Each structure stands twice: as structure tokens, then as C-alpha cells.
Copies of this chain bind each other. A is one copy, B any other.
């Protein structure tokens, strides 16, 4: 585990549309994981959730999250980050559209549901595979 900043080669990988998994904490403190889209931007991880997601109640109660991002070319290389998430509205779906375009080339197809932006401030990170020696 190392504190930020992340090395440039790690940042370059994180900027690609990779598979990722986020862990949040249930009310009883148990971890819950789910696959997620994300954006790496200004040294932070941006995620986005439907306003009805149970995951939102989890992070409102305890904002500690962990993400593992798998290199889309070879998942033997992966990066994990731990940090705290801050939530805000996503009016006009501008943030989810940016993320959807990053992954699919298109705006987000579901337009009639409110979305919430989550910004993860990275506190520690660790790399494996070709990043093993960097963290």
C-alpha cells in the first residue's frame, strides 16, 4: 500500500475503459462488491449510481470504499485503491454520459432515472502484475 500520487504508467492504465469492482460496507459492516464503470480524473476515481441503489445507503452511512481495476488487456495486472467517497447529484446526467461514452462511445441510454456521482479520494493504492514494483 502506498499513498498517492500514482505513477504515470499506472495513471495511463487507469484512464482506459477497464473492468472494475467496487466494495462498500453494509449496515452490519460486511463488505459488498459489484462490477462498476469508473473514470480516472484529476487523481480521483469517479463512479455513478442509480439513485435507487442500496449501495448509496451504504456509502452515506460509511464512505469507505475500495476499488480494484483490472487491466483490460491482461487482468494479471491490476490496481487497487482505498479511499472515501463523496456523493453529489448528476443533473442532466452529464457525468454518467461522460462515463458511458468512455466505455461504449454513446450517451447513457436510460434517461428517466436520477443518478448520483461518487468521487473517491484515493488514500492508498497498490499495484500487481507489471505494476508490482511501483507501490
Contacts and interface: CB of A to CB of B under 8 A. Distances in A.
A122 to B, nearest CB: 13
Given A29-B29, A32-B80, A21 B21 contact: yes
Q: How many copies does the complex hold?
A: 2
Interface residues of A, number: 26
A4 interface: no
24 contacts: A19-B70, A19-B75, A21-B21, A21-B33, A22-B33, A23-B23, A23-B31, A23-B33, A23-B66, A25-B31, A29-B29, A29-B62, A29-B64, A31-B31, A31-B82, A32-B80, A33-B68, A34-B68, A34-B80, A34-B126, A34-B128, A35-B70, A35-B75, A35-B128
